[in-house]
């Protein structure tokens, strides 16, 4: 055990050094910011509109539109999976075009990323859910989903500023069934034309006008439903970098385990517990704390033994990433984000 711990520590400290370098430039420095008048590097970058390839089984999603680090993590991962032999048609990527404020704040990074995101689809709830459902119906040997974005705790309680769902009627005018559909942990997918993550009243109005839940938000329920159709022999690996992402695994103070954990063969890595934020999601950081650590550890593992997602030691990867993040949080004086892990796949079955 001591030898294994020493190896994990050495690898984690290597990741920590890399991440510290990513964070060395302070917000507003020349290396991370472009002038407020900078042109839009995404002006001529169109979202992909081609049908999803039938072979698609790796889905990489940068959901936020206000910083560059989410997209940077997606670009890195696409390169990693291609290095181990996955073809272009097996990998689908998604992003949200940045806001003007984001271009002013993270202009240099976004300008470098823009050409690398050509061929990626819009990171909007309707597109992602539809693609995941389509891929699941094709009965692939595995589906791998990585999402890096912002997240919120149960949406309606967040909007109302209460902890008890029974208090919601005192603060919001809600219709029958809306608590069950929308008072869930959510992750931002800002690549569409619909309401933004925090625009709760606009989300409710759109739903009342006929929009489906899965066209408006990404929740544990909508994600589980989209991934529900693969055969029982297919593995689903879900990796979530967002605040409160642990709510996609369990809701201990709410109504029990996430429906995502009830899929036949699923592994979920989340950057936080259900009640904690993550860090590194602001302008000036090239990567998020957890997403940067995850990509670094993943790269080390794939370099040591190139293989596809189902064969990777996800529990070990989680432990190594968690060690890096906890060390960074200790150094930076942040409260623990408590990265979380779930699997119902035995080690022998996934190798």
244: left (phi over 0), alpha (psi -120 to 50) or beta: left
Tokens 């079955």 -> residue: 349
Residue spans of alpha helices (H) in the chain? 2-22, 69-83, 100-105, 107-113, 125-137, 155-160, 178-182, 200-208, 220-226, 289-304, 314-332, 347-350
Eight-class DSSP state of 25: S
pLDDT of 114: 97
- Alpha-carbon distance of 77 to 259, in angstroms, equals 27
- Alpha-carbon distance of 328 to 278, in angstroms, equals 12
- Alpha-carbon distance of 66 to 63, in angstroms, equals 10
Could you tell me the CA-to-CA distances from 153 to 93, 184, 234, 325 in Å, in that order?
25, 7, 30, 21
| Cβ neighbours of residue 234 closer than 8 Å, sequence gap 6 or more | 136, 139, 140, 141, 142, 143, 264, 265
- Alpha-carbon distance of 268 to 249, in angstroms, equals 7
Structural domain boundaries in the chain: 33-268+290-310
Q: Is 32 within 8 Å of 284 (Cβ atoms)? A: yes
Token pair belonging to 182: 């929308």
pLDDT of 4: 32
Would you mind telling me the total number of residues written for the chain in this entry?
351
pLDDT of 281: 82
Per-residue pLDDT of the chain (351 residues; tens, 9 = 90+): 333 333 333 333 333 333 333 332 322 333 333 333 458 999 999 999 999 999 999 999 999 999 999 999 999 999 999 999 999 999 999 999 999 999 999 999 999 999 999 999 999 999 999 999 999 999 999 999 999 999 999 999 999 999 999 999 999 999 999 999 999 999 999 999 999 989 999 999 999 999 999 999 999 999 999 999 877 789 999 999 999 999 999 876 566 789 999 999 999 999 999 999 998 887 777 899 999 999 999 999 999 999 999 999 999 999 999 999 999 999 999 999 999 999 999 864 433
Tokens 């696409």 -> residue: 78
**Smallest Cα–Cα separation from 98: which of 44, 39, 150, 40?**
40
């Amino acid at each position: 055990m001591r030898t294994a711990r020493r190896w994990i520590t050495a690898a984690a400290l290597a990741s920590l050094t890399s991440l510290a370098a990513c964070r060395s430039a302070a917000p507003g420095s020349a290396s991370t910011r472009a002038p407020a008048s900078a042109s839009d590097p995404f002006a001529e970058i169109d979202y992909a509109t081609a049908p999803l390839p039938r072979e698609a089984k790796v889905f990489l999603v940068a959901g936020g539109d206000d910083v560059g680090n989410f997209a940077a993590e997606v670009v890195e991962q696409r390169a990693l999976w291609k290095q181990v032999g996955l073809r272009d048609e097996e990998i689908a990527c998604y992003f949200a075009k940045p806001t003007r404020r984001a271009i002013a704040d993270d202009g240099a990074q976004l300008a470098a990323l823009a050409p690398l995101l050509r061929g990626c689809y819009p990171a909007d709830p309707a597109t992602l859910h539809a693609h995941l459902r389509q891929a699941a119906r094709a009965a692939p040997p595995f589906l791998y989903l990585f999402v890096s974005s912002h997240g919120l705790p149960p949406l309606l309680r967040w909007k109302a500023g209460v902890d008890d769902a029974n208090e919601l009627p005192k603060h919001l005018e809600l219709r029958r069934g809306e608590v069950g559909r929308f008072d869930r942990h959510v992750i931002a997918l800002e690549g569409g034309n619909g309401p933004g993550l925090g625009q709760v009243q606009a989300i409710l109005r759109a739903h009342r006008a006929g929009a489906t839940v899965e066209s408006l938000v990404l929740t544990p329920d909508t994600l589980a439903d989209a991934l529900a159709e693969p055969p029982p022999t297919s593995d689903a690996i879900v990796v979530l970098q967002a605040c409160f992402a642990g709510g996609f695994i369990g809701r201990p103070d709410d109504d029990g385990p996430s429906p995502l954990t009830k899929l036949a063969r699923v592994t979920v890595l989340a950057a936080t517990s259900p009640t904690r934020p993550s860090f590194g999601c602001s302008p000036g950081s090239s990567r998020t704390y957890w997403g940067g650590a995850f990509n670094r550890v993943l790269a080390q593992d794939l370099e040591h033994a190139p293989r596809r997602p189902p064969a990777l030691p996800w529990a070990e990867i989680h432990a190594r990433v968690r060690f890096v993040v906890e060390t960074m949080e200790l150094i930076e004086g942040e409260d623990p984000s408590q990265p979380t892990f779930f699997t119902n796949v035995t080690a022998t079955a996934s190798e």
